[in-house]
Amino acid sequence: KIKSDSNYTTDIFNQLQDKATTDITIGTISNISNIFVSGTNKGIYELQGESKVGQALGDNLDHIEFYVDKDSMVTTMEDLFGIKEHNNKE
């Protein structure tokens, strides 16, 4: 859909702003869209991790929170984007 409609992600982002909490900007959404348009389809990835009820948003309401497994995240980033984990030595 993104390839056939260049406004698709912007439209979806604007529709969800009143329903979702995020610190992602429209510029970041646009950059992500460009990756999808210019990249090749690598299928669907599932990050491993743990879901639990918590109050990380600080609004005193229970929400489902997902805590990604670091190894799963690193492997996925390597597969999708060629990003390698780097350990800084100070």
Percent with pLDDT over 90 in the chain: 32
Which residue in 66, 21, 22 sits closest to 47, CA to CA?
66
pLDDT, residue 70, reads: 93
Q: How confident is the model at residue 87 (pLDDT cuts 50, 70, 90)?
A: confident
Strand partners, 23: none
Q: How confident is the model at residue 62 (pLDDT cuts 50, 70, 90)?
A: very high
Q: How confident is the model at residue 90 (pLDDT cuts 50, 70, 90)?
A: low
